[in-house]
Amino acid sequence: MKKRVRSAAARAALGCALLAPTACDEPLSAVEAIDKTRVVGARVEVNGEPSRAAPLAGENVVVRFFVLSPDPAPALAYELEACLARDSASDLTTCAGEPLATAARLVPVNEPPSITFVAPAPARGDERLAVLGAVCSSGIGLPAEGATSCDDGSGVLRTTLDFSMDDGSHPNTNPALASVTFDSEELAAATALSTECAELPGFAGGIKHRLTIAVEPSSRDALRRETELDPTRESLLFSYFVTRGDVDHAWSALDANDAADTTGVIWTAPEVSAPSLARFAVVVRDGRGGSDFAERRICILPR
Please provide the average confidence, as pLDDT, over all residues in the chain: 89
- Dmax over CA atoms of the chain, in Å, equals 62
**CA distances to 4, 177, 272, 297, 300 from 31, in Å:** 12, 21, 23, 19, 22
Low-confidence ranges of the chain (pLDDT < 70): 1-29, 88-90, 123, 125
Per-residue pLDDT of 207-219, as tens digits, reads 999 999 999 999 9
By C-alpha distance, which of 200, 205, 191, 209 is closest to 299?
A: 200
pLDDT at 31: 87
- Per-domain residue ranges for the chain? 34-164, 177-301
Domains 34-164 and 177-301 share a fold: yes
CATH code of domain 34-164: 2.60.40
pLDDT at 5: 33
Judge contact between 152 and 120, C-beta under 8 A: no
pLDDT at 17: 35
pLDDT at 269: 97
Domain 177-301 matching CATH 3.30.1360.40: the answer reads: no
Judge contact between 21 and 161, C-beta under 8 A: yes
> What 3-state DSSP class applies to 100?
coil
pLDDT at 28: 56
Per-residue pLDDT of 218-245, as tens digits, reads 999 999 888 888 888 999 999 999 999 9
pLDDT at 229: 80
pLDDT at 173: 97
DSSP 278-300: EEEEEEEE-SSS-EEEEEEEEEE
Q: Half-sphere exposure (CA, 13 Å, Cβ side) for 168?
A: 6
257: left (phi over 0), alpha (psi -120 to 50) or beta: alpha
Q: Half-sphere exposure (CA, 13 Å, Cβ side) for 238?
A: 28
